[in-house]
Structures are given as structure tokens and as C-alpha cells.
Amino acid sequence: MTDCIFCKIISGDIPGDIVYQDDDVLAFRDLNPQAPTHVLVIPRKHIATTNDIQPEDAELIGKMYLAAKQIAKDEAIDEAGYRTVINCNRAAGQTVFHIHLHLLGARPMGWPPG
Ligand code: DGP
């Protein structure tokens, strides 16, 4: 999508601090990190929200989690623990409408989240 910030990172039109990529998934550091490790894992396919995920996207969504697992290992936060979050729509705090898995770690985290 031409007006999507994350599609522009995928196309290289705007820069991203990319930490992982493959044919289906891209991951880059969040511009406004909420933890020492804060990476966004996105599908190359534009999907606006989790409400828009279709049955044929099931494997793609699984690949996002496999990428997150690999990145957590690379960042050495896998053993201590980390959080993965996908915000859906405005009440949950979604501001960029291209689904993204937040991978947060390297600090203690409370529950419930805000
Ligand atoms: P959410 O609130 O769940 O939609 O998260 C959107 C995140 O995207 C937010 O943590 C900030 C980040 N973000 C927004 N624009 C950019 C950008 O241009 N580059 C990067 N790296 N991150 C961005």
C-alpha cells in the first residue's frame, strides 16, 4: 500500500534498522522503543489489523512468531523471557495499520499491561 509506513520500510523507501528478513517477514527496531529490545516483526503482505487476517494467512502469522523466536535468541533475551504483543485497532493502541508483532525484552515487565 502506497500510504503505509511499514510498506515503505519493506520497499526501502524509508529506512529501517532491520534485524531480520526473509521472503515473507521483515523485522526492524521500533523508532520509539519501550524496552532495551523492542523489535517489530511484520509480514511483507499488507494486512491492516488482526481482524483482517484470513485463513490463508495462517502460515504467514506462524512465520512471524518463528522470526520473533529467532530474534529473541539473537538478542540473547530468550532465556530470561520476553513479550510479544499485537495491538488491534485504536482501543488497544494500534497506530500503524499494518500488523506488527512487538517483541519486547531486556527489562522486567509488569502484568496486566496498561
Ligand atoms: P502500535 O502502537 O502497536 O501501532 O505500534 C506502532 C509502533 O511503530 C510504535 O511503537 C512506533 C513504531 N513506528 C511508527 N513509525 C515508525 C517508523 O517509521 N519506523 C519505525 N522503526 N518504527 C515506527
Say what the pLDDT of residue 2 is: 78
pLDDT tens digits, one per residue of 59-111: 999 999 999 999 999 999 999 999 999 999 999 999 999 999 999 999 999 99
Residue ranges of domains in the chain? 5-105
Q: What is the pTM of this model?
A: 0.98
Say what the pLDDT of residue 1 is: 74
User: Ligand 1 pocket: which of 4, 32, 41, 64 to mutate (most atoms <8 Å of CB)?
Assistant: 32
CATH topology of domain 5-105: HIT family, subunit A (3.30.428)
Q: Dmax of the chain from CA atoms?
A: 39
**What 8-state DSSP symbol labels residue 40?**
E
Phi, psi of 48 (to 5 degrees): -70, -50
Atom of ligand 1 nearest to the CA of 28: 21
Say what the pLDDT of residue 48 is: 98
Question: For residue 114, what is its C-alpha cell?
Answer: 496498561
Coil, strand, or helix at residue 44? Answer: coil
Residue 16 has pLDDT above 80, yes or no: yes
Say what the pLDDT of residue 3 is: 93
Is the link from the previous residue into 112 a cis peptide, with omega within 30 of 0?
Answer: yes
Q: Residues enclosing ligand 1, CB less than 6 A? A: 5, 16, 28, 30-32, 40, 87, 93-96
Say what the pLDDT of residue 114 is: 80
| C-alpha 32 to ligand 1 mean position (Å) | 7
| C-alpha 51 to ligand 1 mean position (Å) | 19
